[in-house]
Structure 1
């Protein structure tokens, strides 16, 4: 271990000394850039976009790894290897006095825009050993503040609307005089008006006048909204007020072909047949492949309503969720010479043009598998129909088989064979005896029906699981989704159990887990997700689940039959489980810069068995260890608590409580290669004293003393479509050891058993 640390330190020293290898004479490597700003209300991160030069990127906050790669290349750049090193590395950033001057100008302009009109920016450069350290010193002075904000529109109707929404104004009296707030206020007013019928209104009609002659760094700000131009008003009156628009007709072009529409023009539209459904018009060629009611329930735009710009994106998103169309375009055309009988407003026709995707597909995959670090191979046949009954019903049928290679405690290999079949259909609505108006538009509801069968064979047992469930899914906002499963049924049968294995677990907390049982459960799931696809920005992810099982079944069974001689009830000759269970998964991703990020995860799960079944069913119990958990231990190789299961042939530790905290520092290396330094903390525990193994019980006064701690280094290969991960974990604290000796580095030498290698697909969290 010491040798490894010495080697790392030596590499860092050598690399730091070689950073100026390719720096020419009379030039300097830009080693560090710092900002000293006297305006404490502006964080340093806000200045980053205005820096014209930044030092070479670093990992671990100190090591210029990519520059080091570049410097490994020899002088002969015609050689392929040298060219490759320079391509994957980063060229040294040389200090440029001209770019430094530009940075000063940009920083000064930024400070002025933030209301610091007396700000002064200076540069201090220190040269040492062909390196330059630059400090930008910003003397901000006092910030100008808004003494008064006034709004005046030439159009009296717009004046009234703007005044009604002043409480949402971004410009606040007593607040800073900030140019960026002007831009935001312009956007806010424009959005507000376009959501109230002003289809042709744009932010160019809004401008500002500021008076700073009051003195004392005070500003009187005026927001002015001009009337419409003659072109927009179309000379209908001399005042050129901004016109208001209502929706006249809504047309669905259901199998729209943009290429034919572009080439054939009007002759293409003449081929459409038309169907009227309620207040909507459906245009199609050949036949209508989707029921009109599905599309009507998937639009927020309806005839007769005022034009609202925000409904366009909401309609696109709702139609996209049907997964029937690969392109959706919504456009508006003014109806010439016509006005609304309601208020005389102008009229718009809305055209929703839908380019269909393929409704049916199938795939045959042969793939490498990973389940908590255990690798194997499998095959998968899947058939999907996205419009089974012409109502956007998504039907999926899947057959899957796999074999995984695992290791027991004696490092002997064994195989786990699995076969499964699953069928599922998702309806784009709730199955309810009554309808709620606009329910789909508000919540994008779905009903899912699924049935599945799974067969698993291991050397110690064979298990089959047959299940079915009905679930309701909906979104209460852009980031929040819900799922309620009012009924789920699981039949778990264990036809064969190895006699030696059965004897080992008989009378232990695992003994009840390998019995035939029935589960009828009700569950709820809540997900909050800030992540945006293909955007590198900080996000929070929360997943909370709550589940109960067996209570209704117990009431029914108790009323029609008595308990058997062993003291529990059965349905169809099978014992049913009773429990309540809840878990929460919190994740936060923080992006430091373009190559460095931090990822945090906290997980807590608790299940309490009672009544008709003494333990949580095996498939509901928690386990720890493996590629997505505490990576210094094998899967199912930790706990519960400080319990030592060395006598067992297979890793099979499970518990009623799971507590984990993970942190990863992730950084990009070169090509498709990424790396991570991680720390994992956690364990599992039992909750009932009467069936808990020694040291496995959760107790508030000492559960932290039973936490396992591991660390390690990982490599990730980003192939865009998937990420292959290799994590090497090392134990730091082992709860199985005696008290006072659980921290390994300070108590004993490391052995091979203290390390674990994990192969996986995808990030751990």
Structure 2
């Protein structure tokens, strides 16, 4: 294993050599670009868009791997291998004096727009051995600040609206002058007026006048909102007030086909029948495939309202959430001046809906991964997105799999699993009363689901049957909630190996292999900044809270006498009682087009009490495997410093999980990506009466029991899925004696200090 790491380091060193191999004479490879500014309030990242020429990309901050690939190509451009190497590699960036001068000019303009009117940019170029290093040194000077701010509109009505919003202006007295803030203020004013009925207003009507002659590095700022200017027949300018627009009629064009509309024009539109539902018009061909009520409840736009841009955006988002349409277009048609109402112009709104396929099915036979254990399985899934013509999403799934796992003695054994699951999601809340405009505000959904799962291992056979009802809604664009008022889990273990049962009898694992019932209530909130297909930094936070068994315990204690076993049962099955909470925090930071960093913090705590001494097996925490501490096998670490070397199977679980992960990811070539990672964490038990030795969580020494692992990985990005190979290496093993838990410097590495994980998708 040491040799492997030696060759990897040697390979990375080689990639840094001969970078100027194909640099022509009298040219220089742009080796490094740096920007140094005396303006400490501007982060270095802000200068990047203005640098017109950057050096070749690096991985690990030092190796120009992609340039090395390009340089591997021979001179014969007709050979396929040379074409491929040049395509996946990166051409050497040759220093360009013109682009360097442009960069200096753009940086100076950027500083000017930031209010540094007296800034200078010096360009320092160092050339040596066919390499050029460029430094842009910005002497910023003092930044100008806003002294006085004035707002005025030529239109009296608009002027009163803007004066009401002055307190919310992005321009503040005493704040630094910044052109980008002015641009944002222009957008803010435009948005305000568009949400007040000014359909035809645009940001081109908003002007700024800046007086820099005030002195003492201050400026006076004036915001002017102009009226419409038109010329009469004699060429003289006249000012017109911006008109207000009111919604006249709303038309839903169902099953709209944009290609036929473009080609057939009026002939196509003449084929639509019309249905009037309340104040809305439904235009359709043949028949309505979606109940009008669903679409009416999914729009914020109604006849008689003033036009509001915000309502248009919300309507499009709500209709998209139905998953019934692959294309949604909302357009407005201005009526003639003769149709004006109370001096307001009128708009007809056309919501054009191009349907997606309501039904689909898929049959998959594929390799599977569960926490690093590979296997094979088959799956059949059927979906109907409009089961009762009310945008109800029905799913039925049936599948089975077989996986090979390893005992501690590295012996293989098979696990077999079979399951069936069905669910239906309604685009509304099931409740005995209606809340006006509730769907428009929160996009609520009600989910009903049921599942049955059969699992067979050499040591036991287990069946799990569950069902639940959940309510889901969005409180904002990035925040979603889910409440499950009632969920029921029946876990039965019809057969269990007697030797295995003897091994676990008397310890904390024994309770996990008993028949039990779970009736729980859960709440979950998710905050997600991630945007699909956009490479930008984002946060993701998921917090869950769950309680179980309290209602059953209250009922039993009132209406039943406690039996001799000292616990209550339902239908002869003991029910669990516990409270549990988890939080998962992730941050993704994109350094450039090929390098990124990902971080995760996870904390989970479950406390069993009352009718059941431990958390149910399916609720207990474990660590190790492909998505956790990757230097350990799944369920192969903890709790705490507890060692289970005498057990046949990796089956270590706990009541608390603490884990921190960091991963550096970099694109290599074609579909291949690389990664370096660091994992820290462990699981712990919470009750001293059934805790194994060394497994109990204590505030004064829990950090002494942390496991630390590192490693590297390769990822194959096939667009639809990512296949991942990770090699983990232990750095700190909590089962070692205190003082020798850090492996480097304490003992030699052995084969068991490494773990190889195969998985689908990123770990976080």
For the superposition of Structure 1 and Structure 2, which TM-score range results when normalised by the shorter chain? over 0.9
CA contact (8 A) 1:525 1:545 kept: yes
Q: Deviations over 1:665-693 (max 9, x none)?
A: 11111111001100001111111111111
Q: Deviations over 1:364-422 (max 9, x none)?
A: 11111111011111111111111111111111111111111111111111111111111
Does structure 1 residue 358 correspond to structure 2 residue 337? no
CA contact (8 A) 2:511 2:614 kept: yes
Q: Distance in 1 between matches of 2:442 and 2:82?
A: 57
Does structure 1 residue 109 correspond to structure 2 residue 101? no
Q: Distance in 2 between matches of 1:270 and 1:411?
A: 73
Does structure 1 residue 526 correspond to structure 2 residue 515? no
Q: Deviations over 1:146-171 (max 9, x none)?
A: 22222221111111111111112222
**Which residue is equivalent to 1:457?**
456
SS in 2 for 1:214: strand
> How do 1:564-575 residues align onto structure 2 when only pairs under 5 Å count?
564-575=563-574
> How do 1:415-426 residues align onto structure 2 when only pairs under 5 Å count?
415-426=414-425
Q: Which 10-residue stretch deviates more, 23-32 or 658-667?
A: 23-32
Q: Distance in 1 between matches of 2:722 and 2:14?
A: 32
**Which residue is equivalent to 1:749?**
748
> How do 1:476-515 residues align onto structure 2 when only pairs under 5 Å count?
476-515=475-514
Q: Distance in 1 between matches of 2:465 and 2:78?
A: 64
Per the TM alignment, residue 248 of structure 1 is displaced from its structure 2 partner at its CA by: 1.2
CA contact (8 A) 1:325 1:357 kept: yes
**Which residue is equivalent to 1:731?**
730
Per the TM alignment, residue 2 of structure 1 is displaced from its structure 2 partner at its CA by: 5.7
Q: Distance in 1 between matches of 2:388 and 2:231?
A: 49
CA contact (8 A) 1:338 1:346 kept: no
Q: Deviations over 1:685-733 (max 9, x none)?
A: 1111111111111111111111111100000000110000000000111
Per the TM alignment, residue 96 of structure 1 is displaced from its structure 2 partner at its CA by: 1.4
Q: Which 10-residue stretch deviates more, 222-231 or 427-436?
A: 222-231
Per the TM alignment, residue 110 of structure 1 is displaced from its structure 2 partner at its CA by: 1.5
Q: Distance in 2 between matches of 1:403 and 1:652?
A: 19
TM-score by length of 1: 0.97
**Which residue is equivalent to 1:80?**
80
Does structure 1 residue 173 correspond to structure 2 residue 194? no
**Which residue is equivalent to 1:49?**
49
Does structure 1 residue 92 correspond to structure 2 residue 119? no
Q: Distance in 2 between matches of 1:559 and 1:170?
A: 61
**Which residue is equivalent to 1:308?**
308
Alpha carbons of structure 1 residues 674 and 507: separation in structure 2 relative to 1, 3 Å: same
Alpha carbons of structure 1 residues 265 and 81: separation in structure 2 relative to 1, 3 Å: closer
Q: Distance in 2 between matches of 1:560 and 1:214?
A: 83
SS in 2 for 1:557: helix
Does structure 1 residue 434 correspond to structure 2 residue 433? yes
Per the TM alignment, residue 15 of structure 1 is displaced from its structure 2 partner at its CA by: 3.6
**Which residue is equivalent to 2:274?**
274
Alpha carbons of structure 1 residues 405 and 338: separation in structure 2 relative to 1, 3 Å: farther
Q: Which 10-residue stretch deviates more, 133-142 or 633-642?
A: 133-142
SS in 1 for 2:312: helix
**Which residue is equivalent to 2:344?**
345
Q: Distance in 1 between matches of 2:72 and 2:162?
A: 63
CA contact (8 A) 2:229 2:239 kept: no
Q: Distance in 2 between matches of 1:89 and 1:340?
A: 62
CA contact (8 A) 1:489 1:521 kept: yes
**Which residue is equivalent to 2:152?**
152
CA contact (8 A) 2:417 2:453 kept: yes
**Which residue is equivalent to 1:558?**
557
**Which residue is equivalent to 1:549?**
548
Q: Distance in 2 between matches of 1:584 and 1:531?
A: 18
**Which residue is equivalent to 2:245?**
245
Does structure 1 residue 654 correspond to structure 2 residue 692? no
Q: Distance in 2 between matches of 1:100 and 1:229?
A: 43
CA contact (8 A) 2:247 2:347 kept: yes
**Which residue is equivalent to 2:411?**
412
Q: Distance in 2 between matches of 1:215 and 1:570?
A: 83
Q: Distance in 1 between matches of 2:194 and 2:575?
A: 58
CA contact (8 A) 2:13 2:63 kept: no
**Which residue is equivalent to 2:597?**
598
Q: Deviations over 1:561-617 (max 9, x none)?
A: 223322111111111111111111110111111111111001111111111111111
**Which residue is equivalent to 1:583?**
582
CA contact (8 A) 1:557 1:571 kept: no
Per the TM alignment, residue 264 of structure 1 is displaced from its structure 2 partner at its CA by: 2.0
CA contact (8 A) 2:229 2:238 kept: no
**Which residue is equivalent to 1:137?**
137
Q: Which 10-residue stretch deviates more, 626-635 or 734-743?
A: 734-743
Q: Which 10-residue stretch deviates more, 38-47 or 710-719?
A: 38-47
Q: Which 10-residue stretch deviates more, 261-270 or 92-101?
A: 261-270
Give 5+ residue unaligned stretches, structure 2. Answer: none
**Which residue is equivalent to 2:688?**
689
SS in 2 for 1:46: helix
CA contact (8 A) 1:338 1:347 kept: no
Q: Distance in 1 between matches of 2:450 and 2:540?
A: 29
Q: Distance in 2 between matches of 1:87 and 1:261?
A: 42
Give 5+ residue unaligned stretches, structure 1. Answer: none
Q: Distance in 2 between matches of 1:369 and 1:120?
A: 60
Q: Distance in 1 between matches of 2:29 and 2:337?
A: 69
Alpha carbons of structure 1 residues 37 and 700: separation in structure 2 relative to 1, 3 Å: same
Q: Distance in 2 between matches of 1:109 and 1:41?
A: 17
SS in 2 for 1:744: coil
Q: Deviations over 1:80-104 (max 9, x none)?
A: 3333222222122121112111111
Q: Distance in 2 between matches of 1:11 and 1:514?
A: 50
**Which residue is equivalent to 1:623?**
622
**Which residue is equivalent to 2:186?**
186
SS in 2 for 1:349: strand
Q: Deviations over 1:616-661 (max 9, x none)?
A: 1111111110000000000010111111111111111111111111
CA contact (8 A) 2:681 2:708 kept: yes
SS in 1 for 2:16: helix
SS in 2 for 1:732: strand
Q: Distance in 1 between matches of 2:441 and 2:381?
A: 32
CA contact (8 A) 2:16 2:65 kept: no
CA contact (8 A) 1:143 1:217 kept: yes
